[in-house]
């Protein structure tokens, strides 16, 4: 199964993509994680991305698409995937379609996760991330057992610079301005599945599964 997960920052895209990839054995391709890794490794791309990301702005389409094309070509050809954080613009969606057509791996569905703005702001401003293993926590909804430390690897949890309230508002606005057109793009193609993601992680996962089930004959669903 080849999926795109759409949704504003804080809607739980990364978490749900992680669950889908584990339970359905899909390759999880997150452009945000790829870019944060480039920043950490101080590569030329990372240096270019850092300032743009900390302002919550989008990187140029050409740069993102070159990175994604390379990543898709490195995946196992017959394994399904889940794209998280891409596409973010119509230009990216069109180019992605071309890349996947060339690879003969077209998308099956686009899952659109939705939640109200106040829910998103509360989730994002409380989010903490492990720099070593990328595990996600929330200071209220999902705190680590030892405050400030990762349960999995003991890494020192931090708040992403783009998870501060003012930047969050800016990111939500950018999402609305630049990304909302994508819903129509995929709706017209009959690929869009809209899921309310205000509940718990597992609850949203069950909703995603139930929306895919009647459309896709997959034994692990
Ligand atoms: P995310 O983790 O998906 O919220 O992405 C973090 C940041 O990486 C975004 O705010 C953008 O600066 C950048 N980014 C990630 N994916 C894309 C994309 N598809 N197009 C442009 N910029 C992106």
pLDDT in the model for residue 79 = 87
Closest ligand 1 atom, CA of 85?
A: 3
Using the mean position of ligand 1's atoms as its centre, give its distance from the Cα of residue 59 in Å: 7
DSSP state of 89: S
Q: Tokens for 121?
A: 């702001």
pLDDT over threshold 70, residue 221? no
Model confidence over 24-61: pLDDT tens digits?
Answer: 899 999 999 999 999 999 999 999 999 998 887 889 99
Q: Where are the alpha helices (DSSP H) in the chain?
A: 13-24, 31-40, 44-54, 61-74, 90-102, 117-125, 165-174, 180-188, 201-212
Model confidence over 200-216: pLDDT tens digits?
Answer: 899 999 999 999 877 76
Using the mean position of ligand 1's atoms as its centre, give its distance from the Cα of residue 52 in Å: 9
Q: What are the DSSP calls for 198-217, one per residue?
A: -S-HHHHHHHHHHHHTTT--
In whole angstroms, give the CA distance from residue 83 to residue 194. 16
In whole angstroms, give the CA distance from residue 15 to residue 200. 11
pLDDT over threshold 80, residue 161? yes
Closest ligand 1 atom, CA of 35?
A: 8
Model confidence over 99-151: pLDDT tens digits?
Answer: 999 999 999 999 999 999 999 999 899 999 999 998 989 998 889 999 999 99
């Amino acid at each position: 199964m080849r999926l795109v997960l759409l949704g504003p920052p804080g809607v739980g895209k990364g978490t749900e993509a992680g669950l889908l990839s584990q339970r359905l054995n899909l390759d999880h391709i997150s452009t945000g994680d790829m870019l944060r890794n480039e920043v950490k490794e101080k590569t030329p791309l990372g240096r270019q991305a850092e300032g743009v990301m900390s302002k919550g702005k989008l990187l140029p389409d050409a740069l993102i698409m070159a990175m994604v094309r390379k990543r898709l070509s490195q995946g196992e050809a017959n394994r399904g995937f889940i794209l998280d954080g891409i596409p973010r613009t119509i230009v990216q969606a069109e180019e992605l379609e071309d890349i996947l057509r060339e690879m003969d791996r077209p998308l099956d569905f686009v899952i659109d996760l939705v939640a109200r703005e106040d829910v998103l702001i509360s989730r994002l401003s409380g989010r903490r991330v492990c720099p070593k293993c990328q595990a996600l926590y929330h200071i209220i909804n999902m705190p680590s057992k030892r405050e400030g430390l990762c349960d999995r690897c003991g890494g020192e949890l931090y708040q992403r610079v783009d998870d501060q309230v003012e930047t969050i508002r800016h990111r939500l606005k950018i999402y609305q301005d630049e990304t909302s057109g994508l819903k129509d793009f995929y709706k017209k193609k009959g690929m869009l599945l809209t899921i309310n993601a205000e509940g718990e992680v597992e609850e949203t996962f069950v909703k995603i599964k139930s929306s895919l089930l009647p459309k896709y004959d997959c034994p692990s669903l």
